[in-house]
Structure 1
Amino acid sequence: MRLLFKHLAVVLVTVAVVSGKAGAVTNAGVFTLQQAIDFALENNPEISIMQARIDQADAQLGQALASFYPQVKAGLSYQHSDNPAQAFSMIIAQRRLNLNGGDFNHPGGVDNYRPQVTATYSLFRGGQDYYLSQAAELGVETSELEKTATRHHLINNVTAAFYGYLAAQDAHELSLRSIEAVQSELDQSRVRYDAGTLLKSDVLSLEVQLAEAKDAQIQAANAIEIAMAMLKTLLGLSSEQAFTISENLSQPLPAAPAEFDALLSQALSQHPGLKAAEKRVAIAEQQLNAAQAGYLPRADAFVSYGSDSKDLAFSSNRDNVTAGVTVEVDVFSGFATQEKVKKAEHELTAAREAARQMRLRVENQVKTAQLRLREALNREQVTSVSVTAAEEALRLVKEQRNAGVVTVTRYIEAEVARDRAKTRDISARYDALRAEAELNQATGFWN
């Protein structure tokens, strides 16, 4: 039975835990496995986090697309000057020039208010706007794939914790039956010992067996509580909220897995984590293109409409329009463009290596999950036979024990063998179901 507890401990350590958020109700209801998965996908905060990242990527895409629209600004400027050249230009702009009066060399202080609206439009930026918009679109797709990968990971974790809980329940029931059987035999043995027909050592052996059964029962009860706490966390429930599980481990075993090449082909075509890594490579390529576009010239068109006056009074008689095109190119930027290109190249290299690493990881996950599923199914075939044999052996030993032809030691050995066989069978069934969930995650099977 300790073998089963070891398997349960591995599950509770390896399942990725995410913070749960408390609900308003006190009882979450009764869950089947599918209902638990659906509830977790709806309430686990990790899913909300990934959705927020998708929304963030959408906003970044909108920000990138803003470069393709005209930029319109409204402003108000004020100037005061007694500089003859500036004052003279202000008076002309205000339509107040009088050639017959005034001293142009000493105009005095002149005030100029200019409310204006300016529109600019980027005609060409070396393709930077296009490349950055493409990268932003890929960013949205990447965020959606990462959310899908998170969903798959959560489904696998809920499945593992769910089966861990059920396995702990079966182990607990087995320990209770063992305690009951050993206690009954111990009571009979004490009577026979008092009657002088049984050795003291036989009674002591049964007492040791009873203590071991009680120890197993304590471990199983604790494993149930730990698995329940894990499930609450994954489902996004607080520790105060209660729920129950309506399934048991009598459900059918999974089918034997397909060949590795077929599973790997499926994983490479639809694994969301791998697809997201490939998208990040494409993003890095677009960002490199945008950085290299910094070497090219930039062209912008602009138009400005405003009015100059000595006060804030607006008049269409004093309005004016200015329009034009500016073209500029960086002759020397302190090597800034060059360094941006180098940075983008290194980021592309890192993205490609990350994608290669993800592919290797997916290959390993698929192979490992396939081998674990095959091993668990083969073990279950063996353990189911051993359980039948152990049950029959214990039945025969009990009959021989009642007939007084075998010692209590032989009876204890038979019962220990029966309990170990059942424990291995429970572990094999649980491992098969969990391995199937791991294989589904590795191949990207879940939607």
Structure 2
Amino acid sequence: MKKPRNFIWIAALVLLPIMGKGQSLELSLEEAMNMACKQNATLKVKQAEFWEARSRARQSLAAFLPQVEASAMMTRTNDPLNVFGQKLKQGVVTQNDFIPADLNNPDGFSNFNTRVDIRQPIFNLDGIIGRGAAEDARDAKKWELERTKEYVLMEVKKQYFAISLAQHKVEVLEGALKTAQANLQLVEDLKEQGYAKEADRLEVSVYVADLEGKLLQSESDLLTAEDYLVVLLNEPKGTSIKTTESLEDVQTLFEEYDQLSDQRADIKAFSLGLDASKKMYKSSTFAFVPRVNAFGALEQNGRQFFGDSKNNYFVGLQLSWTLFNGFKSLGKAQEAKATWLKTQYQFDEYKRQNELELSKAVREAKVYEKRVQLASLAKEQAEESYRMRKDRYEEGLEKTTDLLLAQSLSAQKQLEYLHALYGYKVQLFYLEFQQ
């Protein structure tokens, strides 16, 4: 009896570490972007906000469509007036019902009433304009969702290549560490032969230890970059992500934009929001206009539901006009006008700020483009300088300090080139987002 239980414990101990690990994903940039579009939590929130606005737009159809209500009610009473009225509705009044004693003290009487009420708006100008405002608000939320999607995709691209940058940094530092360890072995060999000093060995040892520390920090940066992308993709905590595209593989072309596009999703969303607030102001002013509505009802009254009953109906047309309600309508109109004007001012300010951001993004992209070119040239020159100094060091023509300086400079220029390349790509992603 103990063997199965022991087996369960052994299986649990074996599987627990495996279950505790997050999954590992190997993604291209396109795959990561597609996952974000489907799973990102911020996009889901914006999608829900759009559904809310769409629901409010549907509610505004009440300004056009009829309202129909049905009800069924059973009553029993001995109230003289109600008893006589219900008998009239059922069509069962006889000559005996006019006997004074029976009129004043009737027996209990039951009535089963089935009723359908209909109300049809005919002319409600404020509701018609309010319908247009609700539709504009719905469309504005749709464009907000699109703009949020663009922002999320920009962040995905930034974090995707942040992982690629971190992976490159790890590779560079691993290569530099391997070279430094080889140089350390070379110095130790030369020391044994009497061509190097203990001080030279210590200098190289310190440099190796420094590279090991930088490598550990780069590996931590890689995990942090993966965590950020995991959040954007709404994947489980602990998921490991490997990129299949490097900074140098994906070419992004610089394109200069002269002015802010009116077709940008956030500009269209803001513009529609402005239209909605303007229509809400107009709707509030038309609250002073008379309203015309039709109404009607169909009834059945009898001794049981849907039995032998008598039908009756009534229809009508209502003209209503609110002449004064204690400045309530006037106050709402003034409030709606202030909201509309405030939205207009905010829209103008928003466009000016984004025009400045676009100009700044263009200038920054030009700077990063030049930095990539200079960093690439510096990297090549540093690599050649290190190669030459290493050859001379092996011939005894260079100092250990000079060799370490050349190697350190070569690794530094490689890292600077990677950072410049990453910064250039990120700036182009932002410029594309701002167009």
TM-score, normalised by the number of residues in structure 1: 0.84
**1:257 touches 1:374 (CA, 8 Å); kept in 2?**
no
The alignment partner of 2:262 has SS state of: helix
Q: Which residue of 2 aligns with 1:7?
A: none
The letter for the 1-side match of 2:61 is: L
* Equivalent in 58, 61, 64 of residue 57 of structure 2: 61
* Equivalent in 39, 45, 70 of residue 35 of structure 2: 39
| CA distance in 1 between partners of 2:251 and 2:378 (Å) | 17
| CA distance in 1 between partners of 2:101 and 2:66 (Å) | 41
Within 5 A, what are the aligned runs for 1:18-97? 29-77=25-73, 78=75, 80=77, 82=79, 89-97=85-93
Q: In the superposition, relative to structure 1, how do residues 52 and 89 fare at CA in structure 2: closer, same or farther (>3 Å)? A: same
Deviations along 1:82-140, whole A, 9 cap, x unmatched?
Answer: 455x6654554443445674118953247463332221111222x12211221222123
The alignment partner of 1:270 has SS state of: coil
Percent identity, aligned pairs only, is 19
- Greater length-normalized contact order (CA 8 Å, ≥ 6 residues apart): 1
The letter for the 2-side match of 1:43 is: Q
Within 5 A, what are the aligned runs for 1:58-137? 58-77=54-73, 78=75, 80=77, 82=79, 89-98=85-94, 101-103=98-100, 107-109=104-106, 111=109, 113=111, 114-125=113-124, 127-137=125-135
**1:253 touches 1:432 (CA, 8 Å); kept in 2?**
no
Q: Which residue of 1 aligns with 2:187?
A: 189
* Equivalent in 310, 323, 326 of residue 315 of structure 2: 323
Q: In the superposition, relative to structure 1, how do residues 45 and 313 fare at CA in structure 2: closer, same or farther (>3 Å)? A: closer
**1:365 correspondence with 2:357:** yes
Kindly tell me the number of residue pairs found equivalent between the two proteins.
Answer: 411
| CA distance in 1 between partners of 2:305 and 2:427 (Å) | 78
Q: In the superposition, relative to structure 1, how do residues 133 and 73 fare at CA in structure 2: closer, same or farther (>3 Å)? A: same
CA apart distance, 1:201: 2.8
* Equivalent in 169, 172, 175 of residue 173 of structure 2: 175
Unpaired runs of at least 5, structure 2: 1-21
**2:61 touches 2:131 (CA, 8 Å); kept in 1?**
yes
**1:88 touches 1:107 (CA, 8 Å); kept in 2?**
no
Q: Which residue of 2 aligns with 1:245?
A: 243
Deviations along 1:249-299, whole A, 9 cap, x unmatched?
Answer: 2225433332x42xx2xx422211111111111111121122222222222
**1:124 touches 1:298 (CA, 8 Å); kept in 2?**
yes
The alignment partner of 1:197 has SS state of: coil
* Equivalent in 301, 318, 341 of residue 333 of structure 2: 341
The letter for the 1-side match of 2:381 is: A
The alignment partner of 2:100 has SS state of: coil
CA RMSD of aligned residues (A): 2.6
* Equivalent in 274, 283, 296 of residue 267 of structure 2: 274
**2:71 touches 2:114 (CA, 8 Å); kept in 1?**
yes
**2:254 touches 2:428 (CA, 8 Å); kept in 1?**
no
| CA distance in 1 between partners of 2:330 and 2:395 (Å) | 94
The alignment partner of 2:201 has SS state of: helix
**1:273 touches 1:358 (CA, 8 Å); kept in 2?**
no
**1:383 correspondence with 2:404:** no
| CA distance in 1 between partners of 2:24 and 2:181 (Å) | 38
